[in-house]
Amino acid sequence: MPDQSIDPRTGTPFGPILPETTDAEFEAVLAAADAAFPPWSSMSRAARARAITAAADALDAASDELVPLADRESGLGLPRLTGELARTTFQLRTFAAELEAGDYLGVVIDHVNSEPLPVGHPDLRRMLVPLGPVGVFGASNFPFAFSVAGGDTASALAAGCTVVVKAHPGHPQLSDAVGRILHDALVSAGAPDGVFGLVRGFDAGKNLVTDPRIKAVGFTGSQGAGRALFDLAVSRPEPIPFYGELGSVNPVFVTRQAASRPSLASDYLDSLLLGVGQFCTNPGVIVVPRDSDLADRIAADIAERNGGPMLNQSVRDLYLRHVDELTSKPGVRVIATGAPADPNGFAAGPTLAATTASEVFADPSIVTVECFGPAGLVVTYDTDDEARALASVFPGSLVACLHADDDEELALALLPILAARTGRVVWNGWPTGVAVTKAQQHGGPFPAATTSMHTSVGATAIRRFLRPVAFQSVPLALLPEELRD
């Protein structure tokens, strides 16, 4: 099926019909990415950093073209998309700076040790080298930051890998425009022509994962699509790493002392409804003490909230289906809804459901349904023991929040339980808003990610596209520069 832009505010198609990549085009893109890998990976780190910085500059310079196009294709609004483009180019520059610094190479130098075995050893020097061409699948909910020029592409390019992106059908024209700007800026700055390529269509996506020239895949999207592509990646004759960030149900725990904080209900909804709830870090479940009025305050507030246009029809339909699935479960009831201000296009309103700890213990699947969109579930608990037991029921998540005073025994008990099943623990804050910084961890135990061992945001994301090589007794002059004394 060819791609075509659709305005989510009206449901109306617009712009050119962009055909699927043909087999011959696919072969040309992959051959170019493969041929470009040796020259790109052997360019100096400084030269690669300059090319990536040039790409960031070119994208910033095209802001007036790109942001309105992104808005028309996604409905996410100009202010958010302006910020997201700035985040995306900041991300590219962050990886360029990492490249210049070189710490990410993980250099270890062990000089000769002439003691007897097992202590003695020859001169051994180890560093990380890039894996090869990388396939990237972006997400519809971050048309800049998790798409064509997003974190996966930025970290793979910085690692020294060439990149082939499967364009997301949710923003086909933007994908084209960003891909063109990125490619041209990299090549103008000295990168080989195949450093970046773009393919389009369902079959091209599958073929990208199974092509023997592709050595790793980065993916952001749904659990269903992510698992299907993961299965392809690991069943290849040569299995490859597949970094799928699949979204998750992110719990927010509120202790008795925190529950009475005045702004907690509205702050929760600000996070839950941001971008019409279309964040993989959306705080889908909030766990609160039954004897507080917090659930009532959230319910009263949500009825006045509006929702808005969702990204596309399939996101909206899936949202409605998941809300239906969740609220059809015994023991779960809808306690409040809001309506979209404008019912046209792919609009959806917020929903708040509620249940109790004992219902969740009876059916833990209640807290496994990710309603990707503006829906929240309040779970009430009676005792601290119940809250602790609840924390152990949640599946792996990207992020878990804890609202508490720091002298509360329950807070101390919950912290390690939450940390054991999530990628990030937030204290007295909200899960949305993933800072681009070195200590960031955006990932988590399955099903939040296909592997919990890496992050897709922050400087350490580069490690996903590197492998170690050790050089034993190699003369200094023949070693890569970084391994000389």
Catalytic residue among 73, 84, 245, 359: 245
Catalytic residue among 280, 359, 371, 401: 280
Question: Among residues 245, 321, 312, 309, which one has the least CA distance to residue 280?
Answer: 245
Q: Is 247 exposed, middle or buried (0-12, 13-18, 19+ CB in 10 A)?
A: buried
Closer residue to a second copy (CB): 366 or 411: 411
Q: What is the nearest approach in angstroms of a second copy to the Cβ of residue 238?
A: 5
Residues 6+ apart with CB under 8 A from 206: 229, 232
**Dihedral over alpha carbons 42, 46, 48, 53 (to 10 degrees):** 180
Query: Any contact of residue 250 with a second copy (CB under 8 A)?
Result: no
**What number of other Cβ atoms are within 10 A of residue 38's Cβ?**
13
Closer residue to a second copy (CB): 201 or 458: 458
Q: What is the nearest approach in angstroms of a second copy to the Cβ of residue 246?
A: 12
Query: Any contact of residue 117 with a second copy (CB under 8 A)?
Result: yes
Query: Any contact of residue 481 with a second copy (CB under 8 A)?
Result: no
The alpha carbon of 349 is separated from its chain's Cα centroid by a whole number of angstroms, namely 24
The residue written with tokens 């119940």 in the block is 386
Closer residue to a second copy (CB): 74 or 422: 422
Residue of the chain from 313, 361, 416, 482 that contacts a second copy (CB under 8 A): 416
**What number of other Cβ atoms are within 10 A of residue 224's Cβ?**
10
Q: What is the nearest approach in angstroms of a second copy to the Cβ of residue 485?
A: 13
| Region for residue 307 given its phi and psi (left: phi exceeds 0; alpha: psi -120 to 50; beta: otherwise) | left
Q: What is the nearest approach in angstroms of a second copy to the Cβ of residue 111?
A: 10
Near a second copy in 331-360, by CB under 8 A: none
Q: What is the nearest approach in angstroms of a second copy to the Cβ of residue 329?
A: 20
Query: Any contact of residue 308 with a second copy (CB under 8 A)?
Result: no
Query: Any contact of residue 425 with a second copy (CB under 8 A)?
Result: yes
Q: What is the nearest approach in angstroms of a second copy to the Cβ of residue 340?
A: 27
Q: What is the nearest approach in angstroms of a second copy to the Cβ of residue 10?
A: 30
Query: Any contact of residue 467 with a second copy (CB under 8 A)?
Result: yes
Using DSSP's 3-state secondary structure scheme, residue 220 falls into strand
Query: Any contact of residue 234 with a second copy (CB under 8 A)?
Result: yes
Residues in contact with a second copy, shown as a per-residue x/- string from 262 to 291 under the rule CB under 8 A: ------------------------------
Q: Where are the alpha helices (DSSP H) in 189-282?
A: 202-210, 223-234, 256-259, 264-273
Closer residue to a second copy (CB): 52 or 299: 52
Residue of the chain from 99, 302, 426, 462 that contacts a second copy (CB under 8 A): 426
Residues in contact with a second copy, shown as a per-residue x/- string from 206 to 225 under the rule CB under 8 A: --------------------
| Cα torsion angle, 150, 152, 157, 163, sign | negative
Query: Any contact of residue 365 with a second copy (CB under 8 A)?
Result: no
Residue of the chain from 77, 83, 102, 190 that contacts a second copy (CB under 8 A): 83
Using CA atoms, how far apart are residues 141 and 279, in angstroms rounded to an integer? 7
Residue of the chain from 108, 300, 341, 362 that contacts a second copy (CB under 8 A): 108
Near a second copy in 118-157, by CB under 8 A: 118-122, 124-126, 129, 131
Upstream peptide bond of 447 is cis (omega within 30 degrees of 0): yes
Query: Any contact of residue 403 with a second copy (CB under 8 A)?
Result: no
Query: Any contact of residue 485 with a second copy (CB under 8 A)?
Result: no
What b/e string do you get for 169-192 counting C-beta neighbours within 10 Å, with b at 16 or more?
A: bbbbbbbbbbbebbbebbbebebb
Closer residue to a second copy (CB): 239 or 331: 239
Residues in contact with a second copy, shown as a per-residue x/- string from 84 to 103 under the rule CB under 8 A: --xx--xx------------
Using CA atoms, how far apart are residues 445 and 60, in angstroms rounded to an integer? 35
Q: What is the nearest approach in angstroms of a second copy to the Cβ of residue 160?
A: 11
Piece of 61-69, 247-255, 364-372, 418-426 that binds a second copy (CB under 8 A): 418-426
| Region for residue 240 given its phi and psi (left: phi exceeds 0; alpha: psi -120 to 50; beta: otherwise) | beta
Containing H/E element for 319? Answer: helix 313-327
What b/e string do you get for 52-61 counting C-beta neighbours within 10 Å, with b at 16 or more?
A: bbbbbebbbe
Task: Give how far Cα 344 sits from Cα of 158, 253, 340, Å.
Answer: 42, 35, 9
In this structure, what token pair is assigned to residue 89? 């180019």
Query: Any contact of residue 24 with a second copy (CB under 8 A)?
Result: no
Closer residue to a second copy (CB): 41 or 356: 41
Containing H/E element for 196? Answer: strand 196-199
The residue written with tokens 């190699």 in the block is 474
How many residues in the shown chain lie near a second copy by CB under 8 A? 76
User: N- to C-terminal Cα distance for the chain?
Assistant: 56
Q: What is the nearest approach in angstroms of a second copy to the Cβ of residue 434?
A: 9
Near a second copy in 437-456, by CB under 8 A: 437-441, 443, 445-447, 450-455
Instruction: Reply yes or no on whether 280 is catalytic.
Output: yes
- Give the residue numbers marked as catalytic: 245, 280
